[in-house]
Structure 1
Amino acid sequence: MFWSKPCSLALPKDSPLRIDEPDYVGIRRFILKLMMFYSKQSMSIRGANVIYKRIIAQVDKPAIYDVFNLEKTFKITFSLLVLHMWLVLRRLKEDGQEGVDLGQYVYEIYNHDVELRVSKAGVNLLLAKWMKELERIFYGNVVAYDAALLPEAKPNELQIKLWRNVFSDDGTTTPDNTDLKAAQAMARYVRRELGSLSLTDKESIFSGNFSFTPLENMPL
């Protein structure tokens, strides 16, 4: 699984999944321009919301848990959310400061979503403390994944990081054959998505008109 070459993840122009900017005309467009609807900031925020929808679409579907033999718990869902945030933020950085700025909007939307998820999980007391800990985990994972892609990293470094961050309960247990196979498959998936995102044009990335590789009916 995931041995195929990376390819663009851009959605075709006729895809029903596309979310394009509304093309208003006449007085309505004039009024919206006055209201800064078409300002760079407003368009970036709308794009960031669509980008985050693509992340959530991949992370919340049952397929990703089935394919990688994962139980759908808060910890694992959060780990997958962080992983896909990293994939997107890394791609956005390829477009320089403009991409970094858009990534900040995506991160703010992510933060709000995580806070809602924590509250939904029943954590109402010490919410600020929980959010601070999840922020620490987020940046720790991002640093680990970046390090795993460095030229000097070991060939299986990404697999090890994924095992510790996603599959393992405490980051120290040794995987059995099933979990090891799943972690290896996820490492291939991550590398393929990185390559595919890099091949996806800037317009599709910035507007959120891309889709991660479908995982439905894909065996290990």
Structure 2
Amino acid sequence: MLWPFNHLKKPRIAARGTIEAIYGMIVTQAREPLFYRDFGVPDTVNGRFDLLLLHMWLVLRRLKSMEAGLGLSQALFDHFCDDMDDNLREMGVGDLAVPKRMQAFGEAFYGRMAAYDLALTAGHEALAQAIRRNILGGEKIETARQLATYAETAMAAWARLDEATLLGGSWKFPVCDRADTPQ
């Protein structure tokens, strides 16, 4: 799946409140303590960013699968870019350095999206390996398999939802449980 987002275009269709609500759900889910405590995702800026990208990929992938979701997915991506820019500035990154950092974020975003899309076509184990490489520092394959199962569960659940529910942001992420995963 190609990710031809252009963060310079502004959304025309999606209501700002819907975009903010969906993005808020993504950020909240990516900050869920379970991922860091039980799955061993590094609780660092990079670890949080990589988990945010996984959740962005899941949502954008589903939205882009519907013709009516293309505008919303673009608006969501634009909101993500604005949030990353704002975060850099809040962290004290100077105006001259922000574009370079944003370029690095963009490269990471597109790289992860391509890796997850390619892995998904190859199956569960390939998705687990991509997650292991991008989120878990090349370690913890059992954990990566659980995260791949979590991602597949989300995709399957959202595939059953109607467009109005998806476009209105009236859905949730699946519960992520690691109780039966070997440590």
The TM tier, using the shorter chain, reads: 0.7 to 0.9
Alignment correspondent of 1:146:
117
Q: How do residues 50-199 of structure 1 correspond to structure 2 at under 5 angstroms? A: 50-96=21-67, 98-124=68-94, 126-150=97-121, 153=122, 155-168=124-137, 173=138, 175=139, 179-199=140-160
TM-score (norm 2): 0.83
Matches of 1:122 and 1:194, distance apart in 2: 37
**CA offset at residue 51 of structure 1?**
1.1
**CA deviations over 1:108-144 (Å, ceiling 9, x no partner):** 1111111223334443361110110110110011011
TM-score (norm 1): 0.70
Contact 2:14-2:71 at 8 Å conserved across structures: no
Q: Kindly name which structure, 1 or 2, has the bigger radius of gyration based on alpha carbons.
A: 1
Alignment correspondent of 1:6:
none
Once superposed, what is the RMSD of the aligned Cα atoms? 2.0
1:69 match: secondary structure: coil
Higher relative contact order (CA 8 A, sep 6+): 1
Matches of 1:209 and 1:142, distance apart in 2: 24
Q: Please tell me the residue identity of whatever aligns with 1:163.
A: R
Contact 2:19-2:75 at 8 Å conserved across structures: yes
The number of aligned residues is 169
Unaligned ranges ≥5, structure 2: 1-10
After TM superposition, what 4+ stretches of structure 1 lie above 2 angstroms from structure 2?
A: 40-46, 116-125, 217-220
Identity %: 29
Matches of 1:86 and 1:43, distance apart in 2: 19
**CA offset at residue 42 of structure 1?**
6.1
Q: Please tell me the residue identity of whatever aligns with 1:107.
A: F
**CA offset at residue 43 of structure 1?**
4.7
1:156 match: secondary structure: helix
